[in-house]
Structure formats: C-alpha cells, structure tokens
Chain A
C-alpha cells in the first residue's frame, strides 16, 4: 500500500514510475490488513501528524475513487468500562484535541444511541469522526492504476545497482535489471532485507497479527469500536495504551475483529490462543457476537521499527535511495501521507511535515557505538 501511494504521488509530481513487487499486487502485509485509517489510537507527536495529513489525502482520494476502494468514514468509538478508564480516556483525548483531532465525549446513556448492540454498563466513550476505512488490496490496486505507473509483478529484487559515487542506478530483479536514478524501498516487513541489499542497516522486524472475519451480517456494528484501558505511566506522565480488538462492520457484510500483536518472527502456524483472545474481546464488547460465526481468519506480519515510527525519506548513506517502510500496524492509514512526503522530497520540494523524526538512518548499526553515526 505504501508503495502504491508513493507511486501515485511521485507520478503526480511528474516522475516516471515503475512499481516492482516480488509477488502479486498487495501480496504482503497489505493483503492481510484491515484497512484502518485511524487517528484515535495515536498520541500527539509525529505519527499523529502523519495520520492527520494522511487522513486529509485519503478524503481527497475518496472523491476520485471512493467506491472502488470501499472508503468509508465511519468514525471510531473508543469505550471505557469504568470511571477510571473514562477519565484516562478523556485526558488522552484532550491532548489529541490540542493536536487537531476531533474527539467528541460520549456519555454512558448516549453510547447505545451510537452503537445499539454494545454491551450494557459501560462508563462512556469518545467518538473520533475522522477514523475511516478502506479495503486495502483494492486501494493499493486502484492507486497504482490511477498513477499510470508501470506495474511489474512476480519480480523479486535481488540487488540494488550502484554507480559512480555509490549512487543507486536501479535494481536487479529476477526478471532483469530496471534502471532508475531513484529507488524507493517500500518493501514493508521485508524493508530491512532490501536495505541490506543496498548495504545499509534498517532494523525492520515482523510483528504477527490475526484478524477474524465473521459471516456476512446486515450492518449491526456502525463504527470502529474498541475498548481502551490506560495504564498510567508515572515516570513519563504519558499514558500507555492497552486496547481490546477493534470490532467493525464492513460494507460487504462481515464483521472484522482485529488484531493481535505478537513478536513471533515469521511463524505461519495458526494460534488458537490468539484467536480465542480476539473472540473473547469482541464478544465482551458486543454480546450478540456470541452466536455469530467466524468464517475465517487471516494473518500478516506488521513491519515495526524499534521506536515504532516509520522510516521515510532519503538515506544519506546511499544517494538516490529512499525509504518508505516500517509503519507497523498503521501502514494503510499512513500510506498517503508517506507517499506525498516521498514525492515532495524526490521533487526537492518542501515536505508537508517535518521529516526529521522519520530519518531512515536514525538506528545505529549493530556493533557500532551509539554516537558514531557520522563516523562512516
């Protein structure tokens, strides 16, 4: 998805773009994603700024191709079980409002007006009207198509070609060489491997997530609904967020319940405990789901970086190499903003956001002392 968005905005900035994928369209984490475009779960900071920028860009794209990508600004509803949780939620929302997030307090008696099938007895919640949804595989496919970029699938990148002064001059693939003065690494969970082909360190690691899909139902869940429990972190006075699974209805009918977070490498076996946790969390929020059937489950590997921020921008170590990966569980949502930032940096325009927090060279290579980054 990030690659598709980079292709779209780079093409619109006047560049000639080729999209290369080792598999089919959206064959990696995108095809296993839920398509959440969330601001509700982000605390003020660079990721939230990127999410707000991305949300505006998604809304513009929806004007062009909204139905084809199943864009729906359904809003997020975060609920709290008890008064303490509600107080922490409200405090979290206050900080978000100051950063430009729409966050509407919902009292207990109004919760079931918004979500009639929600469990009784909840203390209250916050409504986030900016939270939205797309169907990620359709979105990636439609964005690439709208970009006019050439799409080369089934071509694994096996090398990054370097020219004079070490600058990139293209990639070698299983289907031959592709020459270009700029290479954007949007390989998601495999972005670290691609960086290594260019000789640079980018510690992207997989974090597995399962999503449950129910049988199709008439619309019974209207928003993206999840419960928040906040654990006050005394030292930093910020709030560490522990959330229940997000439960949401979709235009196509099934309810999606996701997602788990496990650091288990690229383990592809099915985990019954993970699925039990999802089912239990969802049925606590919506008791009617007890008798609703799960049709299937799917999983993917989120690309995460140690500080949970993506790598976006030029790599000062390799001229011509740009990175756009490591978005963890928010890659669909953050893709449009990422694509625009990349396009602006490629075109040497002023980026819409301060890119420093996303610098790709911010992680010291293993073995090197922490303060010797400029020593190369």
Chain B
C-alpha cells in the first residue's frame, strides 16, 4: 500500500469505472471522494442509519451500480484500491518529474490536511447544477431540482406536500416522478423547452432507443401520477411572505419571451428548479488544463493537455451517467497502459468508444432542445438578489454594466462583489452573466474549496506513510509524460 500510482478524484460513475479498469490492470489506485460512500451524485446512497428498504426504487440502472460497488469492494479487499472517503480536495499540485500531489481536507470541520502523491491523476469531479434567478427564488421552499433529488436519494425526506418542478433539462423528469412516487403532489412540471425543438431534433434524439424508452417510461410515470407537463412554459415569480406559497407561471412565445396574458398562479410549498448542469472545472483550471467553453478538454484517451492528468465524466461535458461510465472506462485503460510505459491500442476499448460517440451526439441534441428561455433575464427585476452570498441585486449588476464600464464577469464581480462569497460564483455565475449580458465563462476558482491558512502554510509537508516513491509506476509516468510532448 501507499506507492504512487493513480489518484482518482471523484467516486461517481466516471471515477468508479476508471478505478475498476485501472485496478484490474495492476495499477495501484487511490480513489478520493468527498462523500462518505462511493456513488457520487448519480448513485447517491441513503445513509446506512436510514435502513432504506428499497433504495433501488429511486435509481435506475441499479444493477450497474451493484456491479461497480462489488468491483470496488473486491479491489479494496485485495489491496489494489485505497478508497479515501470524506476527503475534500482543494488543489492538485504539479511537481514536475516528482509527479502530482493531491491536497485534500479531512476531519469533521475539514481542517486537517491529507496529501496523496501520484504519477497520474484522473479528474472525475462531475458537474453541478445551474440555477438561474427569478423574482422570489431566494424564498425558503425553493430548492434546486438536484437538491430535491438528493433529498429523495440520500435522506428520503419529503420537502413538502405540494410541489412544482420547473426549469429545463432531462433531470426534471426523474425529479418530478421521484417526488410523485414518494407521495408529494406534483402540481406541474414546467419545462421551458420549445415543443417544436423536440420535433426538429427527433432524429438525433431517436438515435438512442434506450433513451427513448427511458423517456417513454418517465412519460408513463408522469401519466400514472397525474403530473401535468407544460412545455414551453416558465416560472415567472415565486410568491410567499415567510416561505413559498405559490408560483406564477406563463407560456413562452417562440422567441423565448413571456406571453403576459398566459400568466397563472399555482399553489405549492416546494418549487424544485434547475436549468441543466455545468462541469466542475476548478481543479483542472488551477492545474492549467485547457478548458473549452465550460468543459475540460480531453483527447480520445481522455487525457487533458497537462501531462499526467486525465479527465472523464461530466467535467469534460455534461452527458449523464452512461457517458461518464464509458469515458471513465477508457481513461482507466489508457492510464494503465501509459503508466506501464505502453502506448494503448484504442481497439481495446472500441465498444466504450462507440458508446461515447453515440452519447455525445445524443447529448449535443439534448442540449440544443433543453435551453432556458432566450430572454429569461428580462424577467429578473432590479430588486431580485442574484448573488445570495453577498446579497447583490440585479439592479447593482446592471448599473455596473451601464454606468461603470463593466464588460465581463470578472469586472462585474469586482465592482459589485457578485460571486465573491462562499459559493465563489459557482451558484450565481450563470445568473449574474445573464443579467449583465456578458458571456458565461468557466469558473476561475483557484482553490476548489476554502482552505485554512495554517494548512496552506504547510502544504506539501504532510507525508503519506509509504514505502517509497521510486520504482516502476513512476518511471512509467515519466515516459507517459514524455510521449505527451512528442
């Protein structure tokens, strides 16, 4: 135990698939994750104390999960994989020929340092939810769609008796059906996507029969639970004195503008709202990895442009669990070959590569269908708080652009403090960019999480108990790094 090898950051589908693929080929893997159990967001597990009787009722692809979980257990027992739970990675450091060091925080307050040395790092950090602001979105009772799903999967706590599920994206379907199956009355599923767009992209969307079947299954579930689905609609405002009491929804015209005459009120205690996902790119950015738009760049082997660093799953582009599994599998095999000083044969993973190609095409089509209304920012009143951490109003953001010469997200932040708080713009970034009318950039957050200054002052001094750092795996990494430069 302890010799450098591969450090996988993130124990969701991509990280697990890579861990199993690499470990099966003799690589020593350290799997590092912030959760108490493996699974990530997708296979989020109820805490053991809840004694959930049928957790699989909330998951599809339960068998895939069982296979990953059993595979991980086997490798951990055999000493090929070290699984570090509750480790919150704040930085990955490049140490030249000495490899890479993953810096994490552990302990109940996340104040203790933990460091993992590795020859290769896989970034499988997943994505986070994108939520756009609207008047009333800060009321208690308004939750993110992903948050509602996490409550269902993890805590099994029902957030309210009557709910509206709104926004855009494929995630809204399992959230609406999950809430309904758990006994919540879902007053409506309000999806802003234009129904005509589904028709236009029907061929690309039908290219994945399994996905069509999945959609049909959700449609059946929505019908069974009597959930109204309103396509081409959006939530205009959330109402309530102390907490959420109702929402106003409205239909959109074909330009993505609200049609005023269609406004109506729905009574609800919970609004689960989401507008798709964004990749986590903090660690990649601090490493100096190329980022295209909002996605970490990866080549056909899932390598980033930084030697020794691979990326797989949502961090390279949002595409769901099946795509994450394929990318993770390819990354794990590529890493195993490269660490052994071998150029991998892509034929080894031809099936996974085909899956990857099809799913990327499918999600490109999904992306073009599910979009927030083009003019959503017009509905955000000047009084609406857009940055919750620093309590910055939409009006202040607009003033910075109109009066003070801000032209990009960074200057808006400096002039208004929007995005300077605890979330560091991860939550409010897309909303602030939309209200400001400037481009949404990938988050530039040098520390993936806040780090105590005492830990930072001594970073690099925490030694792992281990036999030695030289030997075959490291030589392999150096060769791999050299090949990258050729």
Contacts and interface: CB of A to CB of B under 8 A. Distances in A.
A257 B420 CA distance: 16
Interface string B434-466: 000000000001110011111011111000000
A260 interface: no
B414 A294 contact: no
| B288, B415, B458 — most chain A CB neighbours (10 Å) | B415
A24 B460 contact: no
Contact of B407 (A25, A138, A270, A275): A25
Contact of B447 (A21, A138, A294): A294
Contact of B91 (A214, A272, A280): A272
Interface residues of A, number: 42
Contacts of A215: 422, 450
Given A26-B414, A279-B457, A283-B457, A293 B407 contact: no
Contacts of B414: 26, 31, 137-138
A272 B453 contact: no
A299 B420 CA distance: 15
A220 interface: no
A276 B461 CA distance: 11
B405 A141 contact: yes
A118 to B, nearest CB: 16
B99 to A, nearest CB: 14
B456 A279 contact: yes
A95 interface: no
A27 B447 contact: no
A289 B453 contact: yes
B309 to A, nearest CB: 13
B316 interface: no
A31 B411 contact: yes
Contacts of B453: 212, 214, 257, 279, 282-283, 289-294
Range class of the B interface residue count: 20 to 34
B446 A270 contact: yes
Contact of B405 (A24, A254, A289, A291): A24
A297 interface: yes
| B288, B400, B414, B447 — most chain A CB neighbours (10 Å) | B414
A279 B286 CA distance: 18
A153 interface: yes
B465 to A, nearest CB: 22
Interface string A223-267: 000000000000000000000000000001010010000000000
B406 interface: yes
Interface in B408-443: 408, 410-411, 414-415, 417, 420-422, 424
Contacts of B457: 276, 279-280, 283, 290
B411 A293 contact: no
Contacts of A252: 417, 420
Chain A contact surface mostly: mixed
Contacts of B288: 269-270
Contact of A295 (B408, B411, B447, B459): B447
A20 to B, nearest CB: 12
Contacts of B454: 279, 283, 289-291
Interface string B111-155: 100000000000000000000000000000000000000000000
A296 interface: yes
Contact of A276 (B405, B407, B447, B460): B460
Contact of B411 (A137, A151, A254, A298): A137
A91 interface: no
A181 interface: no
Nearest to A138: B415
A25 B422 CA distance: 25
Given A24-B411, A145-B404, A272-B93, A291 B111 contact: yes
B280 to A, nearest CB: 16
B403 interface: yes
B404 A275 contact: no
Interface in A126-149: 137-138, 141-142, 144-145
B118 to A, nearest CB: 16
Interface string B208-222: 000000000000000
Interface string B376-405: 000000000000000000000000100111
A24 B439 CA distance: 13
A282 B454 CA distance: 10
Contacts of A282: 453
Given A141-B404, A144-B405, A275-B456, A296 B286 contact: no
A118 B36 CA distance: 39
Given A23-B407, A151-B405, A215-B422, 11 more contacts: A27-B408, A31-B410, A141-B415, A144-B405, A270-B288, A276-B457, A290-B454, A293-B450, A293-B453, A295-B447, A297-B447
Interface of A: 21, 23-27, 31, 137-138, 141-142, 144-145, 151, 153-154, 212, 214-216, 252, 254, 257, 269-270, 272, 275-276, 279-280, 282-283, 289-298
29 contacts: A23-B407, A23-B408, A24-B406, A24-B411, A25-B404, A25-B407, A25-B415, A27-B411, A31-B410, A137-B411, A144-B405, A212-B456, A252-B420, A254-B420, A270-B446, A279-B453, A279-B456, A280-B458, A282-B453, A289-B454, A290-B452, A291-B453, A293-B450, A293-B452, A294-B447, A295-B420, A295-B422, A297-B446, A298-B446
Question: Which 8 pairs, one residue from A and one from B, show the smallest C-beta to C-beta distance?
Answer: A290-B454, A25-B405, A24-B407, A293-B450, A137-B414, A279-B457, A141-B404, A279-B456
